[in-house]
Structure 1
């Protein structure tokens, strides 16, 4: 663990904060993003905010429109299908790799995140749901020891965050499906194949709901 004296550099802290705003849907699809606006929201100076916009644009979390205009991109049916294709290949593998190495403490952590998911659903708290659901998944993926897969999965989640917030607003949190119980059961048994299957089911259910809600249902890429 890092020592108490270690502090996250400002530019990295601002990047993570703005990335979280996108990831958890605080910035909706089509929202214009400006240096001045992010400075006001984050309390940061123009230099780290400008670097944050550059990084997130390079990662596809923001979209450059020309004339120095930047916005949160809208998810098209084609992009949605591509994200789904990549997620269903990456994330079950992360679950498979992580399962044999999960400690009881780590399983307890993601159980707590699942409880937070359920609390947010009951309260109709879309932002709370998105954050707890993210913590559930990436609490698992962090144990896999597969940095490239982990980083790629995170980039896909950031691209999906704004659209998921739209879905929550349209269908309500009570309609959101998940296979978390099946994932947890597989983890407790230390069954990598079952954990991967449950993750795949979770991803497929989520894709079906998002695609249907956004009016962009199409056959998933295989």
Structure 2
């Protein structure tokens, strides 16, 4: 896949400076995975990413090595990488861990999120509604990532944020598959519940809403793996 071919509609990639290059490339590739820009079944090459970022292949290889070790990517063939297949056992494991960890982070966020954070969440929620109404999957997934991680960052724990990011690196590419089921509409109802609970500083309510959101996606993906 040529570098120019990776510049597809809805995916914004900007050339990187040479400051802390390896970490910045890793961060950019991570965000492409988290916001659904690299989808299951798509192959990406080292050279395509290097060309898109405006860097040499070396920092890209290091980023992909780290993401492969984290089970977020796998070598497909030769110099191509892609999203690993999702087995039923791995899906169940991811659901079970997310069910606990993300709920805890959201409850902590209910204690710490300030009015600026609530306002930011409201904007993300508006984008989610607009993207779902327009059937814009890419915009929806980017807003979904922004909404959830605004909550998890507000928990105030770098350790729990790192754990959640690792979980999302493994599961979030499969959120691309949820659109046709109507799950995005269901998820937005849970997002509204999360928002209301956070606004009201209700830790138990936000835990319930997060877990309902996780289970709704899990149930759809379980059916798709049959």
Aligned to 1:185: 196
Matched, 1:90 2:64: no
Is the alpha carbon distance of 1:129 and 1:173 closer, same or farther for their aligned partners in structure 2, counting shifts above 3 Å? Answer: farther
Q: How does 1:107-146 map to 2 (within 5 A)?
A: 107-146=118-157
Matched, 1:215 2:210: no
Aligned to 2:57: 46
Structure 2: distance between partners of 1:67 and 1:133:
33
CA positional deviation for 1:45: 0.9
TM-score (norm 2): 0.83
Report the 3-state secondary structure (helix = DSSP H, G, I; strand = E; otherwise coil) of the residue aligned with 1:184: helix
Aligned structure 1 segments of 4 or more residues deviating by more than 6 angstroms: none
Structure 2: distance between partners of 1:54 and 1:143:
30
TM-score (norm 1): 0.85
Deviations 1:144-167 (A, max 9, x none): 122222111111112112211133
Matched, 1:16 2:27: yes
Deviations 1:120-155 (A, max 9, x none): 101111111111111111101111122222111111
Matched, 1:81 2:102: no
Report the 3-state secondary structure (helix = DSSP H, G, I; strand = E; otherwise coil) of the residue aligned with 2:154: coil
Report the 3-state secondary structure (helix = DSSP H, G, I; strand = E; otherwise coil) of the residue aligned with 1:142: helix
Aligned to 1:4: none
Which one is further off, 58-67 or 177-186?
Answer: 58-67
Deviations 1:12-37 (A, max 9, x none): 22212212222233222233332222
Aligned to 1:220: none
Structure 2: distance between partners of 1:148 and 1:155:
11
Structure 1: distance between partners of 2:104 and 2:122:
20
CA positional deviation for 1:8: 6.0
CA positional deviation for 1:10: 2.3
Contact 1:33/1:72 (CA < 8 Å) preserved in 2?
A: no
CA positional deviation for 1:104: 1.1
- Aligned residue pairs total 208
CA positional deviation for 1:210: 2.4
Contact 2:194/2:209 (CA < 8 Å) preserved in 1?
A: yes
Q: Which runs of 5+ in 2 are unaligned?
A: 1-17
RMSD of equivalent CA atoms: 2.1
Which one is further off, 45-54 or 61-70?
Answer: 61-70
Contact 2:74/2:84 (CA < 8 Å) preserved in 1?
A: yes
Aligned to 2:173: 162
